Structure 1
């Protein structure tokens, strides 16, 4: 795995467009695609795909040049032997993620999850949150059954009783508490950093100019979103079914630190800790060393 060098002064001649992958779970890039923003003088093309778990494949196929995902995705790609290049990271989001149960559930502790079904989006940060919570409680993935559930559908699946607990994220965790028939079992605070990671593959051959322009564009977006919450919430809640969820989006935007950071030693150590625990629980197919 390679760390991108600090942005260099852009040159005048850059092959374009830069194809930026966009999927619903990455809010920075979802907003960037609708923000009418400029990445300096670099032409960009936003390419939509269904989910972050597809990122390594669409990068390898040359359909996109760069993406933003939850932190496990570049680790999965590196474990497969791909030449992952880390470009940037969001600020930590330690409150964005939780394990919830129905209000009438007999589950009152993590130990009560033994033998039960837990819904989450596979290969997302939710699996990292779950294994951290289980390990903290002296449990492992062998003690529970994982059901693959997309974030937008998770609360309905939990209400129907098809699963016993749900690993969810903003704004759905806020919505779950608001509607009154869910309760918090475990939060992400102090468990995982929960950053978004922006990355590419070496074979995409991004120039220093493209990397710098991409970083600068994200950094600019991170400054503008908190200044226009109404616009950001309108974009993110475009498909929201009700006013309660739309208000949850507004609260989620206000609560989030939208700043963008260069990859540094702290972030690398966080990712190494994540890679180690995912490998220890059999989620990552092989161990990786980010300090190589």
Structure 2
């Protein structure tokens, strides 16, 4: 009888330890890029402060772009990340076991097709036969495909020139490409300093979200911690939307871009943190199917397979 009682007590103690562990990991590893919302969260310090009270250490790990960040998520070097629309679709195609925790409001004005001020190109239809710079497999890649199709063209009607933003800007300024498809804050910088003229932004074509992502292992093991991060992003978003000059100052420090550039970018960027809905999953599936159709994604994926278990309950 004593053995049974002791075993029961031991089981209760161990169960309590496991329950406590499941609500509070010792460390949360967050991937960020210098220009995204997690950079703003990092430099404000509110998440670190809140988690410190709970005995959680936040480690911030910088990445140059979304695809590399989601590779880090897949191999376990980070637990959480925020990227645009395209990287999670490519990550799913590469068998990354991630989940969508939430998303920003749609922000179609923050990505655009631009040309030099003196370019004869006036409409998307005028891009036929032209060289167009863009980052391959990025959110703007989707914008370009949709814009071309709306204009009665296909992706094969243009010559894509795949370049990261810095190289694309150099090619754009020296006339090596005819157009450039780019996103903020590089778009705002191009308008201000690279003599760029808008041909078409994403309004009416694609919604363009920022997605908040986690490894499935982390989100299922520490659901309340993951939820706290999304809640913190919501609180931060309210602050940033009400204090764009202060937010621009922080992001200027993070990226090295002048504060006026960020103020221009933030004027068309609504921050926010909302849980996933069937409609947003449908829109993300349309993006993935488009990339599969034009051959940039090697396989068809089911975006909803990355639904967070907390959203299934």
Bin the TM-score by the shorter chain: 0.7 to 0.9
- Following TM superposition, by how much is the alpha carbon of 1:192 offset from its aligned partner in structure 2, in angstroms? 0.9
| Match of residue 209, structure 1, among 224, 232, 256 | 224
The CA deviation string for residues 242-281 of structure 1, in whole angstroms up to 9 with x for no partner, is xxx5313113223321111001112111111111212111
What does 1:233-252 align with in structure 2 at a 5 Å threshold?
233-238=248-253, 239-240=255-256, 245-252=258-265
**Are 2:100 and 1:99 equivalent residues in the alignment?**
no
Show the counterpart of 2:68: 54
**Are 2:182 and 1:164 equivalent residues in the alignment?**
no
Q: Contact 1:24–1:51 (CA<8 Å) still a contact in 2?
A: no
How many aligned positions are there? 279
Q: For residues 108 and 28 of structure 1, what CA distance do their matches in structure 2 show?
A: 33
Q: Contact 2:74–2:215 (CA<8 Å) still a contact in 1?
A: yes
TM-score, normalised by the number of residues in structure 1:
0.87
| Match of residue 39, structure 2, among 19, 30, 42 | 30
- Following TM superposition, by how much is the alpha carbon of 1:240 offset from its aligned partner in structure 2, in angstroms? 4.0
- Following TM superposition, by how much is the alpha carbon of 1:122 offset from its aligned partner in structure 2, in angstroms? 2.1
Show the counterpart of 1:266: 279
**Are 2:198 and 1:197 equivalent residues in the alignment?**
no
- Following TM superposition, by how much is the alpha carbon of 1:94 offset from its aligned partner in structure 2, in angstroms? 1.4
Q: For residues 296 and 263 of structure 2, what CA distance do their matches in structure 1 show?
A: 34
Q: For residues 291 and 199 of structure 1, what CA distance do their matches in structure 2 show?
A: 13
For structure 2, list consecutive stretches of 5 or more residues without a partner in the other structure.
1-18, 306-313
Show the counterpart of 2:97: 83
SS at match of 2:236: helix
Taking structure 1 as reference, are residues 50 and 175 closer, same or farther at Cα in structure 2, changes over 3 Å only? closer
TM-score, normalised by the number of residues in structure 2:
0.81
SS at match of 1:127: helix
The CA deviation string for residues 104-129 of structure 1, in whole angstroms up to 9 with x for no partner, is 22323323322322111222211111
Which one has the largest radius of gyration? Answer: 2
- Following TM superposition, by how much is the alpha carbon of 1:206 offset from its aligned partner in structure 2, in angstroms? 4.2
Q: Contact 1:11–1:209 (CA<8 Å) still a contact in 2?
A: no
SS at match of 1:261: coil
The CA deviation string for residues 120-160 of structure 1, in whole angstroms up to 9 with x for no partner, is 12222111111111111222222222223333554342111
Extract structure 1 runs of 4+ deviating beyond 6 A.
Answer: none
Larger RCO (CA within 8 A; separation ≥ 6): 1
| Match of residue 282, structure 1, among 291, 295, 304 | 295
Taking structure 1 as reference, are residues 209 and 43 closer, same or farther at Cα in structure 2, changes over 3 Å only? farther
Q: Contact 1:140–1:281 (CA<8 Å) still a contact in 2?
A: no
Show the counterpart of 2:59: 45
